Amino acid sequence: MIFKFKNVYVDNTATVAGPYEAKGPLSNYFDKRYKKDLYCGEKSFEQAEVKLLEDSLKLVLKKSNLKESDIDIVIAGDLLNQITSSCYSSLDMNSPFLGIYSACATSAEGILIASSLIDGGFINTAIAATSSHNMSSEKQFRNPTEYGAPKPKTATFTATGGASILLTNKPSKVRVSEGVIGTIVDYNQRDPLNMGAAMAGAAAHTLNDYFKNSEYSPNDFDLIVTGDLGVYGKEILKDFMKEEYKIELGNNYNDCGVILYDLEKQKDVMAGGSGPVCSALVTYSKILKDLNDGVYKRVLLVATGALFSPTFVYQKKPILSIAHLVCLEAI
């Protein structure tokens, strides 16, 4: 089912990047960069993630010339247990709060919920926000980086940053026009070091659902971008779409995990970026700027998420995945 929004606009965004992201090709598009300090001046990596998201919330208000009391709801999610980064970051907002989780698809989930509330006439303004931190995420889902466990070339690199998007019912240059809530899928993927393969099936499932019920074809978009499939997952998706659904993704398709870093120079990121903030950093900076500047007219964001925990991986359960879709259009 496609959600069609008539009255949802992007007021502003704010992106805060960590050191690796600040060294990437999008560095100049970010609002704030922590160029050297993964701790962001805090005592732990978890508290650093709170700082990153908190910074983005304050920055988006400042850029929009609004106060906390002007925001009807904050919708946020991250990767840490009980989405604690989002909770602590949103404390000082003193606004109604919804904590959400779709792993790395959280950015699009937040936009979909906020857009539904605005378009339904329940609220006027909403902030959808997300974050991730390489060190805290690796520690929770795989191994602490200090352990020095080797990784295969299929592994992706959890992005460090915080990102917020402020949506409103007041017209602006860019609107949220459509969306699709994803379905949980199981393609029997079990390797936590190959997230691209684990999530590609979910992206294909959501894209097929959209194009099957939409007036648009892939060629009608200036850019179709997935959240964090990386180099290998990106190619798996293209093959899957062609073989399973007879849909070809052309040169207008890319992946945020590939865009965020310089894969030739930043070898440590391996197959590319991942994490909830990966798609948000790319979309809320460069892509939205291009929409505002008229470079793009219509962009399709398909944020991808692997719904797993180490406990279930150790119990030999497959990695489930989901992908949520949002269409952004320049006016």
Mean pLDDT in each 10-residue stretch from start to end of the chain (331 residues)?
97 98 98 96 96 98 98 97 96 97 98 98 98 87 67 92 98 98 96 94 98 97 98 98 97 98 95 97 98 98 93 90 98 94
Residues sharing a CB contact under 8 Å with residue 312, sequence separation 6 or more, in sequence order:
none
For the beta carbon of residue 239, count every other beta carbon within 10 angstroms.
Answer: 13
Query: 295-321 burial string, b = 16+ CB within 10 Å, else e?
Result: ebebbbbbbbbbbbeeeebeeeeebbb
CATH number listed for the domain at residues 6-168? 3.40.47.40
pLDDT of residue 330: 98
Consecutive H or E run containing 312:
helix 310-314
Residues sharing a CB contact under 8 Å with residue 146, sequence separation 6 or more, in sequence order:
none
Q: Which residues pair with 77 in a beta bridge?
A: 130
Consecutive H or E run containing 13:
strand 9-17
How crowded is the C-beta side of 316, counted as CA atoms within 13 Å?
0
pLDDT of residue 146: 66
pLDDT of residue 6: 98
H-type alpha helices, 65-194: 84-90, 106-119, 134-141
Q: Give the DSSP letter of residue 37.
A: -
Question: Residue 115 CA to chain centroid, in angstroms?
Answer: 16
Query: Are 311 and 324 contacting, i.e. CB atoms less than 8 angstroms apart?
Result: no
Consecutive H or E run containing 311:
helix 310-314
pLDDT of residue 72: 98
For the chain, the maximum distance between any two Cα atoms, rounded to a whole number of angstroms, is 51
CA dist., res. 174 & res. 331, Å (int): 6
Between strands 3-4 and 174-180, the pairing is antiparallel
174-330 is a CATH 3.40.47.40 domain: yes
Q: Report helix, strand or coil for 158.
A: strand
pLDDT of residue 151: 81
pLDDT of residue 143: 65
For the beta carbon of residue 129, count every other beta carbon within 10 angstroms.
Answer: 36
What's the N-to-C CA distance of the chain in angstroms? 24
pTM for this predicted structure:
0.96
pLDDT of residue 148: 66
| CATH 3.40.47.40 domain locations along the chain | 6-168, 174-330
Query: Are 324 and 112 contacting, i.e. CB atoms less than 8 angstroms apart?
Result: yes
Query: Are 128 and 75 contacting, i.e. CB atoms less than 8 angstroms apart?
Result: yes
Q: Report helix, strand or coil for 227.
A: coil
Query: Are 224 and 302 contacting, i.e. CB atoms less than 8 angstroms apart?
Result: yes
